[in-house]
Amino acid sequence: MPMSDNAVIAERLAVVCERIEKAAQKSGRQSDDIVVVAVSKGFPPEVVEEAHKNGLYCFGENKVQEAKQKIPLCSGDIEWHMVGHLQSNKTRDAVRLFAMVHSVDSLELLEKLNNEAEKAGKVMPICLQVNVSGERSKFGMKPEEVESIIKAADSYHNVVVRGLMTIPPYSKDPEMSRPFFRKLADLRNLCQGVTGRSDLGLSMGMSEDFEIAIEEGANWIRIGRAIFGDRPKKVPVIDGETL
């Protein structure tokens, strides 16, 4: 008999939790210092709800438009995180939809988010996305820019920098991600030095390399396929609109 989607998600999640636990143990960390951001892009609300029933409370999306349609159809107690590139003309929706934005890649975007958050009466937690690999195809600020931007962020009172985020170059071998994760951690330490803060976190690690990310200090791991399976080729249709 085929397993229901729920059973499949529950099983995948059990595997993910075991992998997290092992990586945490290996690196002398507590697994409850690590938040799973379940990246549900490409999946419909029913799938989010199944994952939610299995104990996940924090979900990630990479497109404002998709999130705007999906979020109202999901449980109200889910915490939604924006993990994808954010266009500045979507900041207004973003502050209303999301509890956190992982992908702030410029001071201009930070300022726009700050202004919209102020209008919405919110303080938006953010991560600064850094292009540590220097790949031209990747979003993110240059490592050299981070110090000045994090200092400048101090004077914007409706955003609060919670940490740094990165996406390493894709590789089949998860070990290849390690130097990029380590570079982000070094940069975080530098930021803590210049800001006098000791609470900056790291958003890094995806389905294949999150153990390495945990070993290198990740606080948020953004996991899609390891929880939900391969994303459907044909994106789901919600309310008659193709996402």
Interacting residues toward ligand PLP by CB under 6 A: 39, 41, 62, 83-84, 167, 206-207, 222-226
List 79's β-bridge partners, or say none.
58
Query: Nearer Cβ to ligand PLP, position 132 or 223?
Result: 223
Sign for the pseudo-dihedral over CA of 188, 163, 133, 156? negative
CB of 119 to ligand PLP, least distance (A): 26
Query: Nearer Cβ to ligand PLP, position 84 or 163?
Result: 84
Query: Nearer Cβ to ligand PLP, position 39 or 67?
Result: 39
Query: Nearer Cβ to ligand PLP, position 62 or 91?
Result: 62
b (16+ CB within 10 A) / e for 70-89: bbeebeeebebbbbbebeee
Query: Nearer Cβ to ligand PLP, position 112 or 222?
Result: 222
When CB distances to ligand PLP are compared, the closest residue is 224
CB of 16 to ligand PLP, least distance (A): 10
CB of 207 to ligand PLP, least distance (A): 3
CB of 228 to ligand PLP, least distance (A): 8
CA distances to 88, 171, 212 from 176, rounded to whole Å, are 32, 7, 9
User: C-alpha dihedral over 81, 86, 138, 153, to 10 degrees?
Assistant: -80
Q: What is the largest CA-CA distance in the chain?
A: 59
List 159's β-bridge partners, or say none.
124
CB of 196 to ligand PLP, least distance (A): 29
